[in-house]
């Protein structure tokens, strides 16, 4: 069972966490890309293994991911409709 205190904490700090992650990525984008390129060069199987993992993960969680995307799309659509009426 999920811990309600942890869920509350993460929900309350969601925006700050996303802002931090975005800032970190922007500042380190080139280094991240370079590490990925080096990994591809040094380990030829890495890309293939990554693709296999991603494919298996998507197939396993396909329905959950689809529901999540539909929910997000519905929320955005409702928000757009609300803005049009204003």
**Residue 81 within any structural domain of the chain:** yes
Return d(Cα 20, Cα 7) in angstroms, integer: 19
Find the domain containing 80 and state its range: 44-86
**Residue 7 within any structural domain of the chain:** no
The answer on 85 and 63 residing in a single domain is: yes
Q: Look up residue 67 and give its two tokens.
A: 């529901």
Distances (CA, A) of 82 to 68, 71, 78, 79: 21, 17, 6, 5
The answer on 37 and 58 residing in a single domain is: no
pLDDT 10s per residue in the chain (86 long)? 689 999 999 999 999 999 999 999 999 999 999 999 999 999 989 999 999 999 999 999 999 999 999 999 999 999 999 988 87
**Residue 86 within any structural domain of the chain:** yes
**Residue 4 within any structural domain of the chain:** no
**Residue 6 within any structural domain of the chain:** no
**Residue 23 within any structural domain of the chain:** yes
pLDDT at residue number 47: 92
Q: List, in order, residues 6 or more apart from 46 with CB less than 8 Å away.
A: 39, 40
pLDDT at residue number 1: 67
Q: List, in order, residues 6 or more apart from 43 with CB less than 8 Å away.
A: none
Query: pTM, whole model, 2 decimals?
Result: 0.57
Total of domains in the chain: 2
């Amino acid at each position: 069972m999920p811990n309600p205190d942890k869920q509350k904490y993460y929900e309350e700090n969601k925006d700050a966490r996303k802002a931090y992650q975005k800032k970190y990525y922007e500042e380190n984008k080139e280094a991240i890309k370079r590490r990925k390129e080096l990994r591809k060069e040094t380990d030829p199987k890495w890309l293939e293994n990554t693709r296999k993992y991603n494919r298996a993960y998507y197939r396993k969680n396909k329905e959950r991911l689809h529901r999540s995307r539909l929910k997000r799309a519905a929320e955005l659509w409702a928000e757009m409709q609300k803005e049009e009426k204003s």
